[in-house]
C-alpha cells in the first residue's frame, strides 16, 4: 500500500479521563499530556469547559491548560457545549497566555440523549453550535464540530443517516475547520462507517475536512476506523490505552486505543507521526497512576 499520512487527535486527557471514578490530579494530567507530546501527538483534547458537578474529573480544566507547555506546532483543544464554555476557553488566552487553540463543539443526533447530555434537542443543538462557531471565530478562535451519537442512541436506538446529514448540512454552512462523526456508544460496524462517511464526504465536497470518533464498546471500533480511512477520513480521534466513556451514556466504554490505531496504520504503510513504543510506555506509566491495566490490547501484548 502506498504511504499516506493520518492525523491523530489524542482525546485521552478529556474523553479518556472524564468517566474515571477516581479524580486524577492536575499534576498527573499535565504529566500525561507531556508524555503524549513526547510520543508525537500534536492535536490534543486537553479539557472540557463543563459544570464540575456534572463532570467532576474536568473541574481543574483551567489549571491544566495554564500548565501546558508552549509548543509551537501543538494544538490544544477544549470542549465546550455552549457559549459559556467558549467564554471560558477564551479566558484561558487572556493576559498573554497560550491557552487553548481550538474549541470543540458537540451536537447530539438524538433529542433524548442530547437533552440528557447537554440539555438540548437536535434543533437547539444546531442553533447553539452555529452561534458558537460564529462567536468563537469572531474572537479569533478556531472551532470544529462533532456530531455525536451519529450511529446510534442509548435511549432511542438507531439514528437515521438522513438525520446526521441534515445536521451536517446545517453546520457546514458555518464553515467550521472540521466536522466529525462520533459513534458515542460503539454500535457501528464497518459497512455503516463506510456509508455514513461516504455520504458526509459527498456533502462536504472536500471543502471541510472530516474526522472520526469511534468507541470500542462492541469490539468494532478499530475496524470502523479502517472503514472510515477507506472512505476518505484522515483525522482520527483516539485515546491512550483505550480509556474513555460518556457519563451520560449507559454502558458506553472507551475510545479506540491510540496504540491500536497507530499499530493498524503503521502496519498498513500509513504514517501517523506517532512513536508506538513511546505510546506504550506512556500507557504503562499511566496504568501505575490509576492502579489498573488499561484496555489497549496492543499495549498488553508489548
Mean pLDDT for the stretch of residues 63-68? 98
Residue 172 belongs to what H/E stretch?
A: helix 161-172
Active site positions, annotated: 246
CA separation for the pair 255, 240 (Å, rounded): 9
pLDDT score recorded for residue 248: 64
3, pLDDT greater than 70: no
Span between the terminal Cα atoms of the chain, in Å: 25
pLDDT score recorded for residue 118: 84
pLDDT score recorded for residue 119: 85
226, pLDDT greater than 60: yes
**How many residues make up the chain in this entry?**
302
Least confident of 9-18, 113-122, 266-275: 113-122
Return the ∠ at Cα 50 (arms to 48 and 54), rounded to 5°: 120
Domains of the chain: 4-301 (3.20.20.70)
pLDDT band at 2 (very low <50, low <70, confident <90, very high): very low
Task: Single out the residue of 128, 133, 113 nearest to residue 248, CA to CA.
Answer: 113
Task: Single out the residue of 263, 299, 264 nearest to residue 284, CA to CA.
Answer: 299
Q: Quick check: helix, strand or coil at residue 9?
A: strand
- Its pTM stands at 0.96
117, pLDDT greater than 90: no
Mean pLDDT for the stretch of residues 89-99? 96
Amino acid at each position: 500500500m502506498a504511504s499516506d499520512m493520518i492525523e491523530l487527535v489524542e482525546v485521552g486527557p478529556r474523553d479518556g479521563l472524564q468517566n474515571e471514578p477516581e479524580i486524577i490530579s492536575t499534576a498527573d494530567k499535565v504529566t500525561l499530556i507531556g508524555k503524549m507530546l513526547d510520543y508525537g501527538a500534536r492535536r490534543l483534547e486537553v479539557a472540557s469547559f463543563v459544570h464540575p458537578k456534572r463532570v467532576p474529573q474536568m473541574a481543574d480544566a483551567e489549571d491544566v491548560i495554564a500548565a501546558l507547555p508552549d509548543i509551537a506546532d501543538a494544538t490544544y483543544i477544549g470542549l465546550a457545549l455552549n457559549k459559556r464554555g467558549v467564554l471560558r476557553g477564551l479566558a484561558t488566552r487572556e493576559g498573554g497566555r497560550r491557552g487553548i487553540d481550538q474549541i470543540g463543539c458537540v451536537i447530539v443526533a438524538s433529542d433524548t440523549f442530547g437533552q440528557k447530555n447537554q440539555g438540548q434537542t437536535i434543533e437547539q443543538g444546531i442553533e447553539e453550535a452555529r452561534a458558537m462557531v460564529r462567536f468563537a471565530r469572531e474572537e479569533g478562535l478556531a472551532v470544529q464540530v462533532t456530531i455525536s451519537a451519529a450511529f446510534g442512541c442509548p435511549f432511542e436506538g438507531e439514528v437515521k443517516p438522513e438525520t446526521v446529514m441534515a445536521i451536517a448540512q446545517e453546520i457546514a454552512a458555518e464553515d467550521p475547520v472540521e466536522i466529525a462523526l462520533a459513534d458515542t456508544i460503539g454500535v457501528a460496524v464497518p459497512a455503516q462507517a463506510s456509508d455514513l462517511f461516504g455520504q458526509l464526504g459527498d456533502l462536504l465536497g472536500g471543502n471541510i475536512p472530516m474526522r472520526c470518533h469511534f468507541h470500542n464498546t462492541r469490539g468494532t471500533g478499530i475496524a470502523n476506523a479502517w472503514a472510515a480511512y477507506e472512505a476518505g477520513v484522515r483525522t482520527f480521534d483516539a485515546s491512550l490505552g483505550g480509556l474513555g466513556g460518556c457519563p451520560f451514556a449507559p454502558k458506553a466504554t472507551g475510545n479506540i486505543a491510540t496504540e491500536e490505531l497507530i499499530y493498524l496504520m503503521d502496519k498498513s504503510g500509513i504514517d501517523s507521526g506517532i512513536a508506538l513504543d513511546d505510546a506504550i510506555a506512556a500507557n504503562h506509566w499511566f496504568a501505575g497512576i490509576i492502579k489498573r491495566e488499561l484496555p489497549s490490547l496492543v499495549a498488553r501484548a508489548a
